[in-house]
Amino acid sequence: MSDKIKIINVVGARPNFMKIAPIHRCMLNSIKINPLLVHTGQHYDDKMSKIFFEELSLPNPDIYLKVGSGSHASQTAKIMIEFEKIILSEKPDLVLVVGDVNSTLACALVASKLNIRVAHVEAGLRSFDRQMPEEINRIITDSISDYLFVSEQSGLDNLINEGVSKDKIFYVGNVMIDSLIHHIEDSKKSNILNNIKLNTGNFALVTLHRPSNVDCKDTIKEILNCLKLIQDNIDLVFPIHPRTFKNIKNFKLDNLLDSMPNLHLLDSVGYIDFLHLMNNSSFVLTDSGGIQEETTFLGVPCITLRENTERPITIDIGTNQLVKSDSESILNSYNKIINLKKQKNNIPELWDGKASMRIVDVIESL
Ligand code: UD1
């Protein structure tokens, strides 16, 4: 029998991989921790999953649940059923979940009901918008977690306001930035810009996948029409999420995409290529959560097509601005941002590449 703390680290969807990678690496180096990696299979395409394991040097998952896509209820339920079997057979001391995807909530709930301690990394973030599935995931996961690892001051404030006991909360910084710092040099070797024949710094990067932007035909059409105007002035690189691509095809808007000569449509790209694209773009237009943080760290101006953000530090001291998804708002903010220069300053507190080490230090001392 080992005396080590047995921990299950959970990944499921794309934004989980770069958060777990540095934590799992630190745990593998710890003499006190025995980490197991469980992949729920929420994301399963090679370009949404496998490439991240390779590029982030994550070992193959110890256990792969192959859950796949589905409605919120069926996906969450399938993960719970499969994950419960793993908890019962592996009997971990702790389950660690990151972020706010369905896998985060499902695995936290299973562990908590079996009286296994739960650690949540990226705790306390709140958009205060319950229309977002991620907000529900964040609130519930935090409320059943035993250890809450926080990435920015607002996370701490929100948890305190919700009455969470201070001794459960640890302000450790941002593990996603640990990965960024670890891989930024590697990303400079990416060939992606040569492959699409673009000069560095002379393009903007676009990502869209939020249901609020891509699940309604009128909204996505309005956004695409704005992109059409913008690409007359600056090349756009658009690595497209499978959800977005399927919707555009179903809405029969693919002609609109095809009508933009300066829009470079790519399949989803891996972590290294994406870092290179972000770091060299004039600005980013996105609806992602994590990209708001990465652009803040890199000093790249970011237009976030959302009405709210759970990451307010990226607006308060970073390069992010929230913009509604209508033509007037998008084009106004584009006209302002196009003249901004990259500003490498104002990095939030503890976004220093050492958040994972601080998390592992805390867990070792429990
Ligand atoms: C999920 C997360 C979201 C995160 C995003 C990052 C939830 C509620 N949402 O959204 O917070 O920002 O991941 O990508 O957990 N699909 C594929 N291949 C895949 C995975 C998905 O084709 O490998 C397609 C399927 O049609 C699927 C759709 O994408 O139905 C949506 O996938 P899903 O995991 O449900 O949500 P995301 O939109 O990816």
* Interval 5-64: pLDDT, tens: 999 999 999 999 999 999 999 999 999 999 999 999 999 999 999 999 999 999 999 999
* CA–CA distance, 92 with 282 (Å, rounded to integer): 46
DSSP 144-184: H-SEEEESSHHHHHHHHHTT--GGGEEE---HHHHHHHHHH
Residue with tokens 């710890």: 30
Distance CA 338, CA 346 (A): 20
pLDDT in tens, 170-187: 999 999 999 999 999 999
Angle between helices 175-187 and 355-364 (to 10 degrees): 140
pLDDT band at 342, cuts 50/70/90? Answer: low
Residue tagged 């920015």 (tokens): 152
DSSP conformation letters of 31-75: SSEEEEEEE--SS-STTTTHHHHHHTTPPPPSEE-------HHHH
Look at residue 113 and give its three-state secondary structure: helix
* Residue 339 pLDDT level (bands cut at 50, 70, 90): confident
Residues 6+ apart with CB under 8 A from 41: 12, 64, 65, 66, 67, 68
For residue 209, report the distance from its CA to the centre of ligand 1, in Å: 8
pLDDT at 138: 98
210 ligand 1 Cβ < 6 A: no
The rounded Å distance from CA 340 to ligand 1 centre is 32
Residue 132 CA, ligand 1 centroid: distance in Å: 14
Helix axes 290-298, 175-187, angle to 10 degrees: 60
User: Residue 231 is encoded by which pair of tokens?
Assistant: 């690409």
The token duo for 89 is: 């057979």
Instruction: Please tell me if the CB atom of residue 273 comes closer than 6 angstroms to any atom of ligand 1.
Output: no
**Percentage above 70 pLDDT, the chain:** 98
Tokens of 2: 């080992």
Q: Which two tokens stand for residue 261?
A: 């000569």
Give the C-alpha separation, 261 to 166, whole Å. 54
Q: How far is the CA of 43 from the centre of ligand 1 (A)?
A: 6
Q: What is the pLDDT of residue 340?
A: 73
Question: What single letter denotes the amino acid at residue 117?
Answer: R
Q: Which two structure tokens, joined as six digits, stand for 128? A: 């205060």
CA atoms of 327 and 307, how far apart (whole Å): 14
3-state secondary structure of 263: strand
Least confident segment among 89-103, 135-149, 197-211: 197-211
The whole-angstrom separation of Cα 300 and Cα 296 is 6
Tokens matching residue 168: 């459960």
pLDDT of the residue at 338: 86
| Dihedral angle, C-alpha 286, 183, 17, 312, nearest 10 ° | -40
Rounded-to-integer distance, Cα 343 and Cα 358, Å: 28
| Nearest alpha carbon, ligand 1 atom 12 | 288
pLDDT above 60: residue 1: no
Span 119-133, average pLDDT: 98
Active site residues: 209
Atom of ligand 1 nearest to the CA of 133: 8
The predicted structure's pLDDT at residue 343: 66
pLDDT of residue 328: 98
Name the CA radius of gyration of the chain, rounded.
Answer: 20
| Ligand 1 binding pocket includes 78 (Cβ within 6 Å) | no
Q: Is the CB of 46 under 6 A from ligand 1?
A: no
Q: Which of 363, 356, 358 has its CA nearest to residue 117?
A: 363
Task: State the Cα–Cα distance between residues 318 and 297, nearest whole angstrom.
Answer: 8
Q: Is the CB of 287 under 6 A from ligand 1?
A: no
Ligand 1 atom 11 nearest Cα: 101
Residue 345 pLDDT exceeds 90: no
What average pLDDT does the chain have? 96
CB 310 within 8 A of CB 126: yes
**Helix axis angle, 14-28 relative to 175-187, nearest 10°?**
90
